[in-house]
Structure 1
Amino acid sequence: MKGLIVSVEDNATDSALMSRIFDKEMPLVEVRFIDDSLEALSWFKAYDDVSRIPDLILLDIKMPRLNGLDLLKEIRKIELFKYAPIVMMSSSDQISDKDKAYLNGANSYLEKPKNYAELKERIPIVAKYWLTLNK
């Protein structure tokens, strides 16, 4: 399976774990990791490869400078990403965070697993769904 995933995550440990999972479980998928929400917004605004729109965007909610919900709103304003699949990821299980995510255009909300084993199980399932089943 091939594809392009963009992950916006400010936690270096979480990004490293996800990178390891993608390398092992989905080696043909290109994953672009961005560790700063404002840098991510600039990247999305400058991105112009209409032939290769990301198959999945993973956004952390709790980020400094610009939180993930505000980043989500800004991404949805960009024509190229208006309908791109965006999955919000957070350690928060608060209903209000989930509601805000969906109200602002998220396609899905994933509560971050508490340990590596759960993360290793869930991330490939989520990615495979958006890259293969939801076409």
Structure 2
Amino acid sequence: MKLSDEEGRAVRAAMAGELRLLDPAVRASPEAVTELLDPDFAEFGASGRRYDRASVLVVTSAVEDDDPGPDVSELRGTLLAPDLVHLTYVTERNGLLFRRSSLWRRTGERWRLYFHQGTPAGPARATGANPADPPGGTA
């Protein structure tokens, strides 16, 4: 199914935001993370723990900006409504795979991460499966 220009722009904006949140330099900046998280943000981490915006800021500010971050694969996006994009992807970090799902909500002209969930998917295959850990993914 081909996306309209507007749908494509929305999905690309959400993907760009998600990838920024995976960047250790961005994660180390509370201001940058705050800009990308919706005020009502919630996350169910791969650990099973629930996070809100404030708790994510505590966790992400402890990230070293020289951390290489996770490898990302299978990134896909779907426009669910004019101001809501659903992303799914896989991350790999330290030999472990995680399936991830994010909802990005647009308020005005700004896209922000509204909800994120990470689910453990087992060890990475030695065959080169490429994916890993937290985006909004903190745990």
The TM-score bracket by the shorter chain reads under 0.3
Of Structure 1 and Structure 2, which has the larger fraction of its residues in strand?
2
TM, length-normalised to structure 2: 0.26
The structure with more radius of gyration: 2
TM, length-normalised to structure 1: 0.26
